[in-house]
Amino acid sequence: MFPAQNNRPLPANQPLYFDDFITRNNWTQTQRQMAMQLSLLPATNVYETETAFFIELVVPGLSHDDLTFFTTDDRIEIRYEPENSDFEPYGSRRSLHREYRLLAFQRVFQLNGEALDLDGLQVRSGAGIVQMEIPKREEHRGVLPLQVPFSLN
């Protein structure tokens, strides 16, 4: 019979002197890190009609006036920087339960500048959703192409 190592999780208070990949719980660790990374960015929908592309961001408590938009020929960048003016001194309130807070974020959307008219970009907001409408150029209107001119990075 061959010797085998028992894959038991180590107690959290016991120091690890060697990084043993067998006793680590990589799945749980990765799930925690991914949840943290995904929660820092607002949820986004991108969809297309025959005349335009739409980008929707879910940003509760914000409007399109709170966001900063940068456009170039081949990308749209959306940023939010919270103001530090809403600092509350210690003792003015106590949080009992907190599931979200407004943190700074940046979203970049790569696009095909030949197919879209960035000069006609329109931004609206309501009910915590910021919607950007990017009209298509005249020669690309009508049929929905199979190739999407967007890349989410």
| 28 occurs within a structural domain | no
**Sheet of strand 129-135, all strands in order from the earlier edge strand to the far edge:** 44-48, 52-58, 129-135, 122-126
**Mean per-residue pLDDT, 13-28:** 55
Tell me, what's the pLDDT at 25? 61
Confidence category of residue 145, pLDDT binned at 50, 70, 90: low
Query: Does 35 reside within a domain?
Result: no
Domain count along the chain: 1
User: Is pLDDT at 123 greater than 70 in this prediction?
Assistant: yes
Tell whether 92 is covered by a domain. no
Q: Per-residue confidence at 30, pLDDT binned at 50, 70, 90?
A: low
DSSP track, 72-121? -SSEEEEEE---GGG---TTS---S--S-----EEEEEEE-TTTB-GGG-
Residue 57 CA to residue 131 CA, distance in Å, equals 7
3-state secondary structure of 144: coil
At 85 the pLDDT is 53
Which CATH number does the domain housing residue 133 bear?
A: 2.60.40.790
Q: Residue 8 falls within a domain, yes or no?
A: no
Residue 120 lies in a domain: yes
Residue 3: inside a domain, yes or no? no
Q: Which string of b and e fits 104-113 if b means at least 16 CB within 10 Å? A: ebebebebbe
* Residue 17 within any structural domain of the chain: no
Look at 130 and 82; give whichever has higher pLDDT.
130
CA atoms within 13 A on the CB side of 148: 11
User: Which range of residues forms the domain containing residue 120?
Assistant: 42-83+103-152
Provide the pLDDT for residue 55: 95
With a cut of 70, say whether residue 146 has pLDDT above it. no
In a domain, 145, yes or no: yes
